[in-house]
């Protein structure tokens, strides 16, 4: 279906689901409020700054949430039942992060996107057993950005994130503070953590590691935003800043506004762009963040929707058409934020690039085991036909849910980097410190999507498949997507050391790929 047609269909749906109950029913405001109260409000994670002693306390603990009907889902959260607070630090600040593990399994806590030494990074070597604490200093010295934190337990990151362990880590700095950007938390500065989940019949998180999951990644059938299903956010009337984190295990989203209004991308993973990038659709892969401004000066409600993406299995219902994720109602007091025409100074890429110093090839050794059954079930033919067929959907869902769980050995050898599955004992390579390095990221014969993430740095994408990156990926990044046999070149620098005890990781951020061996570790 063509984009405009989708929009027409969608705006009808939006009117019914989200929008103008006033106009439709002709009833008064009290009725509207009653109707709205049937839908959850967007939960806004509490901001958490270092206390007077400079400490940030994070407590991973079990919880319970009602995502589906009135069934209780057992969860994990950080300082709460699901997800975590929005930790806020300033450039130049030194804080102590104190992580208590009160969940009944070993975790770690990794600061995704933070440029810190390996010893503070919270990777798979820095385990926190149940009942124990881990404390580390975080010396923040990088531009304002929306980062995040999550466990990095090998090989159980996928399960722990599914349960709810993840939170935002926001860096502020003077340069961004001088810009007139919307910055009132929860008023015109709105965090959106997008995740997909699937539930078992008794309401628990589905998290089976079979070949379907290990190859295709986690396939949810429910979209959550900040842990709520299709919530609504009442915001200031004016420019709204959305800090979007794709915190899903595997799913990419093509985000758009239901009424076709523009998305002005102002920031990527590691900070502000040079100037805003106006888009109608924004593709965001797992681990990526984008900060987006939308013009809500008209005070009219709209949905942030996701449109179907390229991966066949990710087009199962309800992701087979435009799916509304969250309603934004810019109905409050007038906002004061603005869309600046220029944002940050980004250093130009050097004319003379350094020689290639590292290759990272993402490998799938079992892609046939994960793809063939889908083909046999008719998934590829169905997607090609453009029509959702309930019989095919049922067969594919049956594979997702019932394909047998892998033994640990099968799981850990299903994927790799540079021909080898991850081994926590083996150092894969060493990178030079404080030097511009050129790395090449590619994939084996599987042609699948791999959003590749590297610790200890923010890098720049030099090229993807021989072309310059899209404007919204031309700034600071810590995730570089590759797909369809493509190649991405990056320019990267590691200012801090990482030794053999606490090396940095380079891995695919599809957590099922990471947990099945698509990860390498390196020293600096
Ligand atoms: Cu967000 Cu190595 O991870
Ligand atoms: Cu990371
Ligand atoms: Cu991957």
188-236 pLDDT per residue, tens: 999 999 999 999 999 999 999 999 999 999 999 999 999 999 999 999 9
DSSP output for 308-335: --S-GGGGSTTTTS-EEEEEEE--SSBP
pTM of the model: 0.94
For atom 1 of ligand 1, the residue with the nearest CA is: 112
Query: Cα–Cα distances in Å, from 177 out to 45, 242, 342?
Result: 21, 17, 14
End-to-end CA distance of the chain: 49
**Residue 169 DSSP symbol:** E
The whole-number pLDDT of residue 439 equals: 98
* pLDDT for res 35: 53
Atom of ligand 1 nearest to the CA of 148: 1
User: Which residues have CB less than 5 Å away from ligand 3 (the ion)?
Assistant: 450, 508, 510, 513
Nearest CA to ligand 1 atom 3: 112
Say if residue 31's pLDDT is above 70: no
Q: Among candidates 520, 480, 515, 512, which has minimal Cα distance to 249?
A: 512
**8 Å CB contact between 420 and 360:** no
484 C-alpha vs ligand 3 centroid, how far in Å? 12
Ligand nearest to the CA of 362: 3
- For the chain, the C-alpha Rg in angstroms (whole number) is 22
Q: pLDDT of 38-96, one tens digit each?
A: 899 999 999 999 999 999 999 999 999 999 888 999 999 999 999 999 999 999 999 99
Tokens 């801090």 correspond to what residue?
496
Distance CA 25, CA 141 (A): 54
At 362 the pLDDT is 98
Q: Which helix H or strand E contains 33, and what residues bound it? A: helix 29-37
Is residue 99 a contact partner of residue 58, using CB atoms and an 8 Å limit?
yes
Ligand 1 atom at shortest distance from the alpha carbon of 287: 1
Cα angle: 400, vertex 106, 124; to 5 degrees: 85
Residue-wise pLDDT tens digits, 342-371: 999 999 999 999 999 999 999 999 999 999
Structure-block tokens of residue 490: 């990056």
**Chain-centroid distance, C-alpha 369:** 27
**Alpha-carbon gap, residue 431 to 439, rounded angstroms:** 10
- Which atom of ligand 1 is nearest to 123's Cα? 2
Cα separation of 259 and 372, whole Å?
39
Average pLDDT score, the chain:
94
- Measure 48 CA to ligand 2 centroid, in angstroms: 20
């Amino acid at each position: 279906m063509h984009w405009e047609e989708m929009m027409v269909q969608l705006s009808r749906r939006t009117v019914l689901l989200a929008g103008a109950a006033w106009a439709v029913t002709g009833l008064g405001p009290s009725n509207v409020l009653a109707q709205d109260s049937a839908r959850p409000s967007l939960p806004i994670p509490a901001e958490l700054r270092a206390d007077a002693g400079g400490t940030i306390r994070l407590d991973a603990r079990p919880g319970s949430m009602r995502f589906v009907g009135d069934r209780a889902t057992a969860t994990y959260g950080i300082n709460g039942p699901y997800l975590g607070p929005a930790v806020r630090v300033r450039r130049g600040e030194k804080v102590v992060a104190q992580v208590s593990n009160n969940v009944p399994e070993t975790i770690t806590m990794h600061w995704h996107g933070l440029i810190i030494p390996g010893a503070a990074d919270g990777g798979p070597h820095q385990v926190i057993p149940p009942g124990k604490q881990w404390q580390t200093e975080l010396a923040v010295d990088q531009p304002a950005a929306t980062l995040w934190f999550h466990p990095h337990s090998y090989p159980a990151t996928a399960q722990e994130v599914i349960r709810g362990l993840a939170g935002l880590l926001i860096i502020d700095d003077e340069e961004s503070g001088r810009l007139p950007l919307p910055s009132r938390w929860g008023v015109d500065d709105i965090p959106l953590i997008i995740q997909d989940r699937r539930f078992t019949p008794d309401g628990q998180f589905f998290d089976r590691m079979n070949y379907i999951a290990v190859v295709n990644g986690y396939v949810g059938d429910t979209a959550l935003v900040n842990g709520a299903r299709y919530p609504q956010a009442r915001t200031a009337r004016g420019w709204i800043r959305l800090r979007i984190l794709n915190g899903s295990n595997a799913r990419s989203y093509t985000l758009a506004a239901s009424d076709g209004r523009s998305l002005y991308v102002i920031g990527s993973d590691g900070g502000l762009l040079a100037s805003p990038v106006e888009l109608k659709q924004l593709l965001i892969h797992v681990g990526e963040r984008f900060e987006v401004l939308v013009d809500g000066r008209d005070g009219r409600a709209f949905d942030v929707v996701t449109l179907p993406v390229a991966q066949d299995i990710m087009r199962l219902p309800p992701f087979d058409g435009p799916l509304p994720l969250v309603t934004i109602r810019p109905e409050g007091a007038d906002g004061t934020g603005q869309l600046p025409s220029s944002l940050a100074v980004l250093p130009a890429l050097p004319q003379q690039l350094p020689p290639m110093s590292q290759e990272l090839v993402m490998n799938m050794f079992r892609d046939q085991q994960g793809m063939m059954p889908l083909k046999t079930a008719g998934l590829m033919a169905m997607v090609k036909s453009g029509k959702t067929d309930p019989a095919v959907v049922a067969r594919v869902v049956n594979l997702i849910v019932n394909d047998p769980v892998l033994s640990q050995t099968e799981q850990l050898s299903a994927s790799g980097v540079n021909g080898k599955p991850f081994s926590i004992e083996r150092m894969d390579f060493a990178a030079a410190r404080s030097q511009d390095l050129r790395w090449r990221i590619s994939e084996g014969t599987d042609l699948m999507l791999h959003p590749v993430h590297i610790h200890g740095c923010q890098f720049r994408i030099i090229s993807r498949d021989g072309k310059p990156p899209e404007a919204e990926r031309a700034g600071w990044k810590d995730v570089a997507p590759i797909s369809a046999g493509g190649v991405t070149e990056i320019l990267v620098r590691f200012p801090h050391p990482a030794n053999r005890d606490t090396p940095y990781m380079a891995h695919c951020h599809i957590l099922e790929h990471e947990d099945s061996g698509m990860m390498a570790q390196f020293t600096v």
